[in-house]
Protein backbone atom coordinates (compact mmCIF):
# COMPACT_ATOMS: atom_id res chain seq x y z
CA UNK A 1 0.00 0.00 0.00
CA UNK A 2 1.32 3.44 -0.86
CA UNK A 3 0.48 6.76 0.78
CA UNK A 4 -2.22 7.66 -1.75
CA UNK A 5 -3.97 4.32 -1.25
CA UNK A 6 -3.69 4.70 2.51
CA UNK A 7 -5.10 8.23 2.42
CA UNK A 8 -8.14 7.14 0.42
CA UNK A 9 -8.76 4.14 2.67
CA UNK A 10 -8.28 6.19 5.84
CA UNK A 11 -10.50 9.05 4.73
CA UNK A 12 -13.30 6.58 4.01
CA UNK A 13 -13.53 6.09 7.79
CA UNK A 14 -13.49 9.83 8.63
CA UNK A 15 -16.56 11.96 9.30
CA UNK A 16 -17.74 13.08 5.86
CA UNK A 17 -19.77 16.11 6.92
CA UNK A 18 -16.95 18.21 8.35
CA UNK A 19 -15.96 21.59 6.98
CA UNK A 20 -12.33 22.11 6.09
CA UNK A 21 -11.73 23.90 9.40
CA UNK A 22 -13.59 21.30 11.46
CA UNK A 23 -11.64 18.52 9.73
CA UNK A 24 -8.33 20.26 10.44
CA UNK A 25 -9.30 20.82 14.07
CA UNK A 26 -10.24 17.14 14.35
CA UNK A 27 -6.89 16.10 12.82
CA UNK A 28 -4.83 18.41 15.04
CA UNK A 29 -6.70 17.29 18.16
CA UNK A 30 -5.88 13.74 17.14
CA UNK A 31 -2.19 14.55 16.76
CA UNK A 32 -2.10 15.58 20.39
CA UNK A 33 -4.29 12.85 21.87
CA UNK A 34 -2.60 9.99 20.02
CA UNK A 35 0.84 11.55 20.50
CA UNK A 36 0.04 11.82 24.20
CA UNK A 37 -0.75 8.12 24.34
CA UNK A 38 2.64 7.37 22.75
CA UNK A 39 4.37 9.73 25.15
CA UNK A 40 2.73 8.09 28.17
CA UNK A 41 4.23 4.72 27.23
CA UNK A 42 7.64 6.21 26.45
CA UNK A 43 7.58 8.20 29.71
CA UNK A 44 6.92 5.02 31.68
CA UNK A 45 9.94 3.39 30.07
CA UNK A 46 12.20 6.43 30.35
CA UNK A 47 11.25 7.78 33.77
CA UNK A 48 10.20 4.61 35.57
CA UNK A 49 12.54 2.10 33.96
CA UNK A 50 9.73 0.01 32.51
CA UNK A 51 10.92 -2.46 29.87
CA UNK A 52 9.71 -2.44 26.26
CA UNK A 53 7.36 -5.40 26.48
CA UNK A 54 5.54 -6.95 23.55
CA UNK A 55 2.37 -5.31 24.88
CA UNK A 56 3.94 -1.84 25.03
CA UNK A 57 5.48 -2.32 21.59
CA UNK A 58 2.11 -3.32 20.13
CA UNK A 59 0.43 -0.36 21.81
CA UNK A 60 3.03 2.07 20.42
CA UNK A 61 2.66 0.64 16.92
CA UNK A 62 -1.12 1.02 17.19
CA UNK A 63 -0.84 4.63 18.35
CA UNK A 64 1.63 5.51 15.58
CA UNK A 65 -0.92 4.05 13.17
CA UNK A 66 -3.59 6.28 14.70
CA UNK A 67 -1.27 9.27 14.22
CA UNK A 68 -0.90 8.29 10.58
CA UNK A 69 -4.71 8.23 10.24
CA UNK A 70 -4.86 11.80 11.53
CA UNK A 71 -2.12 12.83 9.09
CA UNK A 72 -4.27 11.41 6.28
CA UNK A 73 -7.26 13.35 7.60
CA UNK A 74 -5.26 16.59 7.73
CA UNK A 75 -3.88 16.02 4.23
CA UNK A 76 -7.35 15.42 2.85
CA UNK A 77 -8.71 18.59 4.43
CA UNK A 78 -5.72 20.55 3.11
CA UNK A 79 -6.39 19.20 -0.37
CA UNK A 80 -2.99 17.56 -0.76
CA UNK A 81 -1.81 13.98 -0.91
CA UNK A 82 0.25 12.28 1.76
CA UNK A 83 2.65 11.45 -1.08
CA UNK A 84 3.08 15.17 -1.76
CA UNK A 85 3.58 15.91 1.95
CA UNK A 86 6.17 13.13 2.26
CA UNK A 87 8.02 14.28 -0.87
CA UNK A 88 8.13 17.92 0.29
CA UNK A 89 9.28 16.88 3.74
CA UNK A 90 12.17 14.79 2.39
CA UNK A 91 13.23 17.67 0.10
CA UNK A 92 13.28 19.98 3.13
CA UNK A 93 15.28 17.47 5.19
CA UNK A 94 17.79 16.94 2.37
CA UNK A 95 18.38 20.68 2.26
CA UNK A 96 18.59 21.03 6.04
CA UNK A 97 20.72 17.89 6.54
CA UNK A 98 22.67 17.30 3.30
CA UNK A 99 24.88 14.60 4.84
CA UNK A 100 23.11 13.46 7.99
CA UNK A 101 21.50 14.93 11.09
CA UNK A 102 23.56 17.27 13.23
CA UNK A 103 22.59 19.71 15.93
CA UNK A 104 24.44 22.46 14.12
CA UNK A 105 22.51 21.90 10.91
CA UNK A 106 19.26 21.73 12.86
CA UNK A 107 19.96 25.14 14.35
CA UNK A 108 21.25 26.61 11.08
CA UNK A 109 17.96 25.74 9.27
CA UNK A 110 19.42 26.01 5.76
CA UNK A 111 16.02 25.23 4.28
CA UNK A 112 14.67 28.41 5.91
CA UNK A 113 17.56 30.65 4.89
CA UNK A 114 18.99 30.49 8.41
CA UNK A 115 15.86 32.00 9.99
CA UNK A 116 14.96 30.75 13.43
CA UNK A 117 11.67 28.96 14.01
CA UNK A 118 10.32 32.21 15.43
CA UNK A 119 11.24 34.14 12.29
CA UNK A 120 10.10 31.68 9.65
Give the model confidence (pLDDT) of 55-108 as tens digits.
999 999 999 999 999 999 999 999 999 999 999 999 999 999 999 999 999 999
Asked if residue 118 has pLDDT above 80, the reply is: no
Alpha-carbon gap, residue 107 to 120, rounded angstroms: 13
Alpha-carbon gap, residue 23 to 70, rounded angstroms: 10
According to DSSP H, which parts of the chain are helical? 3-11, 20-48, 54-78, 82-96, 103-108
Residue 80, CA distances (Å) to 9, 23, 27, 83, 85 in order: 15, 14, 14, 8, 7
Query: How much is the pLDDT for 115?
Result: 74
More confident residue, 73 or 119: 73
Of the listed ranges 12-16, 39-43, 115-119, the one predicted with least confidence: 115-119
Alpha-carbon gap, residue 109 to 106, rounded angstroms: 6
Query: How much is the pLDDT for 88?
Result: 97
Query: How much is the pLDDT for 84?
Result: 97
Asked if residue 120 has pLDDT above 90, the reply is: no
Region 23-38: mean pLDDT is 97
Domain positions in the chain are 18-79, 81-120
Query: How much is the pLDDT for 119?
Result: 75
Alpha-carbon gap, residue 117 to 55, rounded angstroms: 37
Amino acid sequence: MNFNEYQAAAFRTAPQDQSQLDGLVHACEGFFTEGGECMTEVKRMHQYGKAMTEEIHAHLVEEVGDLLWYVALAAEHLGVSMHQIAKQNIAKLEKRFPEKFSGEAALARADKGGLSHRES
